[in-house]
């Protein structure tokens, strides 16, 4: 059985090499197969990049972004010390020197008042919660740096803001009025001042979720963690909000052959999913190293591991769905 599998693999590799010329790398990932289908579909979000309300270059404005509503359980938003709005960091300015991650603008949730109460933005979507589905949410989260506002901003300009520290964020995916899944500040401590980082998480629904058929929603929250005089923890910024829905990926099936100096790893799985190929020298290893991440637009795929020839150690592989 192993011999027949190895012969099949070598035939497919030779066929692809006849059709393509590619540079030999230490590790090459390529595709075999011809079927293609969409694994995850984007769920429409109104004004997901906060570009609908155009504001002046380099400024910030206090307003509720189009398509969104204020989430204010403590009734603290007063459009002054506590406010939501937009920032457009596309001119030389200290807040976000590299600009917004998507388009020119981002949303802001500014909480400088004395209340230790969270607040933010929320949107109810047209899509509803489905059974047996994997939902993936991604949002760019910004840790604004201190700086002086530019003319044309909501404060008139030339006002200095001490924005040191980070008050924490939370991203909720809602089903009706219930929270289906959250990212509770998982990357907050890793976002440098004046930069954005992408927060990502996913969740799966079973055959009969309690909120089946209820409207999905997104909530972007400033957690208002207490700060200090030097680091008051005031503002969180958000951009590039996305939510996708697709089938729950199946566990990968793997096959291994070694016709030459490289190990050929065949991975079959759910098209559209991503699998992380890991290796270790023992099945009992406490930790496994990542060889590569393999998107699966078609299945199966081949990964080549150019482990040095003659390596006396064993090497074990596994594929973990992301």
Which residue, 226, 246, 266, sits at the end of a domain? 246
Of the CA atoms within 13 Å of residue 303, those in its CB half-sphere come to 23
Residue 7: which domain range? 2-39+249-321
pLDDT tens, 42-87?
A: 999 999 999 999 999 999 999 999 999 999 999 999 999 999 999 9
238, 259: one domain: no
Regarding predicted confidence, which is higher, 145 or 269?
145
174, 216: one domain: yes
At 4 the pLDDT is: 47
Residues 6 or more apart whose CB falls under 8 angstroms from that of 308 comprise none
The answer to whether residue 16 scores a pLDDT higher than 90 is no
SS3 139: strand
Which residue, 215, 246, 277, sits at the end of a domain? 246
pLDDT confidence bin for 196, thresholds 50/70/90: very high
pLDDT confidence bin for 20, thresholds 50/70/90: very low
237, 305: one domain: no
CATH number, domain with residue 156: 2.60.120.260
Percent with pLDDT over 70 in the chain:
86
The answer to whether residue 27 scores a pLDDT higher than 90 is no
Regarding predicted confidence, which is higher, 16 or 161?
161
Percent with pLDDT over 90 in the chain:
62
Mean pLDDT of the region 18-44: 44
Q: Which residue has the tokens 């992408």?
A: 198
pLDDT confidence bin for 38, thresholds 50/70/90: very low
CATH number, domain with residue 253: 2.60.40
188: phi then psi, degrees, rounded to nearest 5: -55, -40
Q: How many folded domains does the chain comprise?
A: 2
pLDDT tens, 202-242?
A: 999 999 999 999 999 999 999 999 999 889 999 999 999 99
At 42 the pLDDT is: 96
Q: From CA 222, how far away is CA 62, in angstroms rounded?
A: 16
Regarding predicted confidence, which is higher, 280 or 44?
44
The answer to whether residue 23 scores a pLDDT higher than 80 is no
At 257 the pLDDT is: 86
The answer to whether residue 199 scores a pLDDT higher than 80 is yes
The answer to whether residue 189 scores a pLDDT higher than 60 is yes
At 313 the pLDDT is: 65
At 32 the pLDDT is: 31
276, 148: one domain: no
Torsion of the alpha carbons at 68, 69, 74 and 77, rounded to the nearest 10 = 90
DSSP string of 70-102, one letter each residue: EE-TT----SSSEEEEEE---SS-SS-TT--SS
Regarding predicted confidence, which is higher, 322 or 34?
322
61, 206: one domain: yes
At 307 the pLDDT is: 67
104, 195: one domain: yes
Regarding predicted confidence, which is higher, 95 or 28?
95
30, 140: one domain: no
pLDDT tens, 122-181?
A: 999 999 999 999 999 999 999 999 999 999 999 999 999 999 999 999 999 999 999 999
Burial class (CB in 10 A: 0-12, 13-18, 19+), 26: exposed
52, 171: one domain: yes
13: phi then psi, degrees, rounded to nearest 5: -65, -40
Q: From CA 171, how far away is CA 195, in angstroms rounded?
A: 18
At 39 the pLDDT is: 60
65, 16: one domain: no
286, 310: one domain: yes
183, 123: one domain: yes
The answer to whether residue 322 scores a pLDDT higher than 80 is no
Residues 6 or more apart whose CB falls under 8 angstroms from that of 301 comprise 29, 30, 31, 32, 33, 266, 267, 294
Averaged pLDDT of the chain:
86
74, 162: one domain: yes
Which residue, 246, 261, 287, sits at the end of a domain? 246
Mean pLDDT of the region 2-20: 41
Geometric angle at alpha carbon 166, from 163 and 172, rounded to 5°:
130
């Amino acid at each position: 059985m192993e011999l027949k599998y190895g012969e099949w693999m070598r035939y497919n590799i030779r066929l692809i090499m006849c059709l393509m010329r590619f540079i030999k790398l230490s590790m090459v990932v390529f595709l075999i197969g011809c079927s293609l289908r969409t694994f995850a579909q984007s769920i429409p979000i109104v004004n997901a990049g906060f570009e609908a309300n155009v504001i002046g270059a380099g400024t910030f404005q206090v307003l509720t972004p189009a398509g969104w509503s204020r989430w204010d359980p403590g009734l603290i938003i007063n459009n002054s010390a506590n406010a939501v709005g937009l920032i457009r960091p596309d001119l030389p300015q200290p807040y976000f020197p590299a600009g917004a991650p998507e388009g020119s603008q981002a949303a802001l949730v500014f909480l400088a008042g004395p209340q230790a109460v969270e607040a933010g933005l929320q949107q109810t979507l047209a899509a509803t919660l489905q059974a047996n589905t994997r939902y993936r949410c991604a949002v760019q989260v910004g840790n604004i740096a201190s700086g002086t506002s530019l003319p044309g901003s909501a404060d008139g300009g030339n006002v200095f803001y001490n924005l040191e520290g980070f008050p924490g964020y939370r991203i909720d995916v809602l089903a009706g009025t219930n929270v289906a899944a959250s990212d509770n500040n998982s990357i907050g401590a890793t976002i440098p001042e004046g930069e954005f980082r992408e927060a990502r998480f996913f969740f799966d629904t079973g055959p009969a979720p309690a909120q089946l058929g209820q409207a999905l929603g997104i909530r972007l929250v400033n957690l208002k963690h207490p700060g200090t005089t030097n680091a008051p923890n005031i503002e969180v910024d958000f951009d590039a909000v996305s939510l996708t829905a697709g089938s729950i990926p199946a566990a990968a099936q793997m096959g291994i052959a070694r016709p030459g100096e490289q190990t050929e790893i065949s991975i079959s799985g759910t098209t559209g999913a991503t699998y992380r190929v890991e290796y270790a020298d023992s099945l009992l290893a406490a930790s496994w190293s990542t060889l590569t991440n393999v998107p699966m637009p078609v299945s199966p795929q081949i990964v080549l591991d150019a482990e040095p020839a003659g390596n006396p150690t064993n090497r074990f592989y596994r594929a973990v769905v992301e």
